[in-house]
Amino acid sequence: MDNIDQLNDYSKFVGFVNERNRPSGGIKTIHKVAVASFLDSTKKILEIGSNTGFTSVNLALMTGCEVVGVDTNDSSIKNAELYAAEQGVETRVKFVNANACELPFPDSSFDLVWCSNVTSFISDKEKAISEYLRVLKPGGVLVVVPIYYITTPPQDVVKRVSSAIGSDITVRDKEGWKKIFFETAVSSGNALELFFEEDFIYHDVSGGIPDYVDMLMSKDNIKSLDSDKRNKVREMAEYFYGLFNENLRYAGYSIILYQKRNALDELELFVSKKKYE
């Protein structure tokens, strides 16, 4: 992506500026998942929507595992490869241009499939989720880090975010996301068991947006643009981050881990929940 006039959505923008786009919760989320899933150098991981590579590269750095990241955006893939090489993990972390709905991998290829903030970008969610499950080994872990609404957002915010990410958002709460994953597992003949779940809300970061935009503008690939293009990048960055910050006022995210079960067990009767003081 070299033409700034084609930057009509946020995913393309991220690839163009080479923003180090992270999962919600950043490195802390990666650490929690690595510990809760017993990741080590024997494990093979697939990240869906790997963008500029933050999650894939940091999973490999943290655990020694092998990772394949798939994304549909070429600039993001190129930048992810550069990041992996810069961090010295290019032999263990590969990036492939592939659509989540048609993953180019055989059944049961991965020990863990990671999808954070990507399924909301895909219109045929059931098809994508059944692909995540197809390539996951029985006994493997499906990591879902969805962003969802806790309170009802204004319609105009939803409309502007949909246009910014290039995909229509349906206003869903956490249970709505869990339902889609659970129902798709059942309809694709899989059994999923939830074994880890933690909920978070976002800080209001409006005061931090100017410094964040300045940081992006100071990247070499942006500094070398002519001033009209730089102004356009700044304008888009301010618009996207202001809008996302406004949207996240109504939202939260969760780290949800499922195990793809080998077989359906008998029903469990004495189920429990966390006791809060």
Kindly list the residues in this chain that would bind ligand SAM in the complex (CB under 6 A): 11, 21-23, 48-49, 51, 55, 70-73, 76, 99-101, 116-118, 121-122
H or E element, residue 126 = helix 125-135
Based on CB atoms, which residue is closest to ligand SAM, 49 or 153? 49
Shortest Cβ 52–ligand SAM spacing (Å): 8
Q: Report the nearest approach of ligand SAM to the CB of residue 23 (Å).
A: 4
As a whole number of angstroms, the distance between CA 195 and CA 66 comes to 23
In Å, how far are 50, 80, 122, 155, 265 from 172, measured between CA atoms?
Answer: 23, 30, 14, 13, 30
227-248 vs 10-17: helix axis angle to the nearest 10? 130
**139/166 with CB nearer ligand SAM:** 166
Rounding to the nearest 10 degrees, give the CA dihedral for residues 24, 30, 33, 36: -130
Residue closer to ligand SAM (CB basis): 69 or 140: 69
Nearer to ligand SAM, 18 or 73 (CB): 73
Q: Which is nearer to ligand SAM, 96 or 191 (CB)?
A: 96
Q: What is the largest CA-CA distance in the chain?
A: 66
Between 72 and 109, name the residue whose CB sits nearer to ligand SAM.
72
Closest approach of ligand SAM to the CB of residue 183, in Å: 20
> Which of 26, 271, 253 is CA-nearest to residue 120?
253
Q: Which residues of 219-254 are buried (b: 16+ CB within 10 A; e: fewer)?
A: eeebeeeeeeeeeebeebbeebbebbbbbbebbbbb
Q: Which residue is nearest to ligand SAM (CB)?
A: 49
Give the C-alpha separation, 254 to 259, whole Å.
Answer: 16
Closest distance of CB 192 from ligand SAM, Å: 20
Please give the C-alpha separations between residue 41 and each of 108, 190, 194, in angstroms, as whole numbers. Answer: 18, 27, 24
